[in-house]
Structure 1
Amino acid sequence: MRKPTTSSSLQMMPRFHPPYISPSDTGTTCFKETTRRLGYLWHSLGNEKMVVKVYGKAQAVCPQRVMHCLVEKGVPFELVHVDIDNMEHKRPEFLQKQPFGQVPYIVDGDLELFESRAIVRYLAEKYADRGPNLLGQTPEERAKVDQWLDVEAINYNPWAFPIVFNLFVLPIRGLPANEDDASAAVDKLNKVLEVYEKQLSKTKYLAGDEFTLADLTHIPATRYIVENCGLSRLLDDKKHVKAWWEDITGRPAWKKVVSFVETGGSNYSP
């Protein structure tokens, strides 16, 4: 029996032709081009698998903080809806990922991470080569950013939260608000904003003359306070705070987040 030639042997083998490779292509040039294109395809598929997943509710403050950072950095993400209205975030399977039963947490490759401020720090560091620098360039600048991130978490948010919860969240759920708690929080937040007014009379943004995470973390809760709680006066009577607010909420990335939330988006791609 005659041994098949190399050519006929190749013809007997099953053929695999990606849709963009012509079956008639042969030779070294074709091999290199096929390898290049398959490599690109593999890279693309890898990137698809590596999209950051954000677990939370689009309307919630902390997931918006994370989404804003991702949009600023031009990083694609998938929002995986968590039904917090029906207490999905308190179920055992969720608590395995976020033991305090809060949103959001993210999955980025092999990393699982919760706490929105830790998440945005991580994202700003990992994707430092994309979008604006949100952390500061020097140790001194980074220290200022961290300082105001702590101010937001320790001095601002403890008063912003009860305002939003009592004057916005509870009413839309048809539940009674604690007016005394809300009123006390408004007074406390106003005093905090008086400190902000002094700071912003000296610098364009909280940590200096560039927009950073120190500013970004304030936006979601403050938006609800201004637009949904009827408390724009907290900013209107403070010249520098008002200018700062108009600046940071006018950023294209934030406008994209608002649109994403209002249209019920689930996947974001720059």
Structure 2
Amino acid sequence: MKVHGAVLSTATQRVLATLYEKDLDFEFLPVDLRSGAHKQEPFLSLNPFGQVPAFEDGDLKLFESRAITQYIVHTYADKGNQLIYQEAKKMAIMAVWMEAEAHQFDPAASKLVWELVFKPLFGREVDGAVVEENEAKLGKVLDIYEARLAQSKYLGGDSFSLADLHHLPNIHCLMGTQSKKLFDSRPKVSAWCADILARPAWCKVLAMRNN
């Protein structure tokens, strides 16, 4: 298995975390985003949209991080941590919260990560109005998460799954910013964040990022 990506990319981190959770061997091939390698061949033959990551398993080529993570957990179900449920109703509930991450949590969280983490990194000015708007949006999502986490230990059910894992990169980024207060002020969400951020597989992703 090969992962073509960038260690600072939240989407790439999603795939790496899944591979570590499944205890699978893989080769990481860095893509130089600064030089625009992701917008040129040969990378475009792997992802025509020119975004990291891209993934290869034998002759199979995939892009879109959430699709890649689902392929990994279903194909290598007998390896490492399960990350999915076998029973149809439980799987459906987990799928609901995976969709919530992609369509409710991620849009606001990603905008905040861009403004509060990456803009300062690139020496660009933070847009306070965008931050304020998206903190309000994210707060509403986290209110719903707080209610959900009062019912089950994890978003998808009683065990850690892809529904939780997909949140890890953006939560980690925001914990180093003013938006940390959104998580800290909600006890169930705060405990959930502390739990999932401490997972050994996620710590391995951070170790790659910090090398």
Structure 2 counterpart of 1:96: 45
**Residue 94 of structure 1: how far off its partner (Å):** 2.0
Counterpart-to-counterpart distance in 2, 1:140 and 1:68: 25
- Aligned AA (1:154): H
**Residue 81 of structure 1: how far off its partner (Å):** 0.7
1:127-146 deviations in Å (ceiling 9; x for gaps): 10011111112011111111
* Gaps in structure 2 of 5+ consecutive residues: none
Counterpart-to-counterpart distance in 1, 2:36 and 2:140: 34
Q: Which residue among 142, 150, 155 is the counterpart of 1:193? A: 142
* Gaps in structure 1 of 5+ consecutive residues: 1-51, 264-270
**Residue 182 of structure 1: how far off its partner (Å):** 2.0
Number of paired residues?
A: 211
TM normalised by structure 1 equals 0.76
1:112-139 deviations in Å (ceiling 9; x for gaps): 0000000000000011001111111201
**Residue 72 of structure 1: how far off its partner (Å):** 0.4
1:195-237 deviations in Å (ceiling 9; x for gaps): 000000010000110000000000011110112x232111111
Counterpart-to-counterpart distance in 2, 1:86 and 1:197: 41
SS at match of 1:85: coil
Structure 2 counterpart of 1:143: 92
Superposed structure 1 runs of 4+ greater than 6 Å apart: none
TM normalised by structure 2 equals 0.97
Pair member with larger Rg: 1
CA RMSD of aligned residues (A): 1.0
1:129 aligns with 2:78: yes
Correspondence list, 1:164-243, <5 A = 164-227=113-176, 229-243=177-191
Structure 1 counterpart of 2:112: 163
Structure 2 counterpart of 1:245: 193
Counterpart-to-counterpart distance in 1, 2:119 and 2:96: 32
- Aligned AA (1:239): P
1:87 aligns with 2:36: yes
Counterpart-to-counterpart distance in 2, 1:76 and 1:230: 37
Percent sequence identity over aligned pairs: 40
SS at match of 2:34: helix
Structure 2 counterpart of 1:114: 63
